[in-house]
Chains A and B, each alone.
Chain A
Amino acid sequence: MIDKIILMNGYGVYVWSAFSFTLISFVTLYFVTKLQLSKEQKKFVTKFGSLNVEKANVAKLQNINREILSNTFKI
């Protein structure tokens, strides 16, 4: 059974390399995208932290800013 799944009647090398390439592409794209997102989130938190109280309160009026702060590091 295992041999049949691995060898696939002599086509195993083609089938497994096609599936491996696909999955490696997915994993790479996912982590690159996640890294870019985390970088922007961290940048936002740093910038937000450097604002004075008045400016921070103005920024907090926007839902989207509050949402970014609450979602940071969760994805």
Chain B
Amino acid sequence: MFKHFEPNKIFVITSRAPKYILFLFIVVLTIGLVEALILSPEDYKQSDAVRIMYVHVPAAWISLGTFSSLALLSVVSFVFKNKNFALISKSLAPAGFIFNIVALVTGSIWGKPTWGTWWAWDARITSMLILALFYGMYLLAWRIYQDKEQVIKITSMIAILGAINIPIIKYSVDWWNTLHQPPSISILSDNSIHVSMLIPLGIMTAAFALFSLLIFLMKYNTELIKIKNKGLDRL
């Protein structure tokens, strides 16, 4: 099954896809921005401050999803000794890290008008900060260690350890008394968010997901070309 994911086979797709994804991202983001900033209604409690949700929530979702994928791929790479999966994890991390930072900063900006403070050491915010530290350690490890085997082991360990934090982030608002509100969107139960806000949120999430995919593909292509550069040296 892993043969289908061999770089030599998928490079034809990964090298050509970015320009189409960039175009699609710009279209979806434009629609999302118009919906989020102009067409969506203001909240009866938070007024227009609620619009920050359209960048904060998708960024948080994607940073969590990316780290979960990164941890899963690290396990697969570790168990099956497949270096391509390590390469995919490495390429996913930069976008995940930026989304994590965006979630923290926009959350802080949203906190000022709604809670009256830029920062609080509450469970959700602190656990998101810890996730950013894990992302930082993961990316740093790839820069520091030169030995391929060693770096794959270390980054896999960081990703697997960091994954313990994912359910803590998810359930922190249920387990502890936090300033952060409980989730408004749930797959298993009814949403407490109106459809007029759910649509722009969905569009912005799609735009952010496309951007994440775009950065991943560009980064993955960079890593593959780096390997091929070394290959040319050996000829």
Contact = CB atoms under 8 A, between A and B. Distances in A.
B109 A37 contact: no
B55 A18 contact: yes
B222 A40 contact: yes
Contacts of B101: 25
A16 B225 CA distance: 39
Contacts of B231: 59
B215 interface: yes
Contact of B218 (A9, A37, A62): A37
Given A37-B222, A44-B225, A11 B235 contact: no
A14 B52 contact: yes
Interface size class of chain B, counting residues whose CB lies under 8 Å from the partner chain: 35 or more
A48 B232 contact: yes
Interface size class of chain A, counting residues whose CB lies under 8 Å from the partner chain: 35 or more
A34 B19 CA distance: 12
B11 to A, nearest CB: 5
Interface stretch (B41-49, B77-85, B152-160, B162-170): B41-49
A21 to B, nearest CB: 5
A29 B94 contact: yes
A37 B225 CA distance: 8
A31 B13 CA distance: 21
B12 A14 contact: no
A12 B113 CA distance: 11
B106 interface: yes
Residues of A contacting B: mostly: helix
Interface string B96-126: 0010011001100110110000000000000
Nearest to A54: B235
A31 to B, nearest CB: 11
A75 interface: yes
A33 B219 CA distance: 6
B18 interface: yes
The 5 residue pairs across chains A and B that have the minimum distance between CB atoms? A8-B48, A40-B225, A11-B49, A18-B106, A11-B48
21 contacts: A8-B48, A11-B47, A12-B48, A19-B36, A22-B55, A22-B59, A29-B94, A33-B218, A37-B219, A37-B221, A41-B225, A43-B225, A47-B232, A48-B232, A58-B235, A59-B231, A62-B8, A63-B11, A64-B228, A75-B18, A75-B19
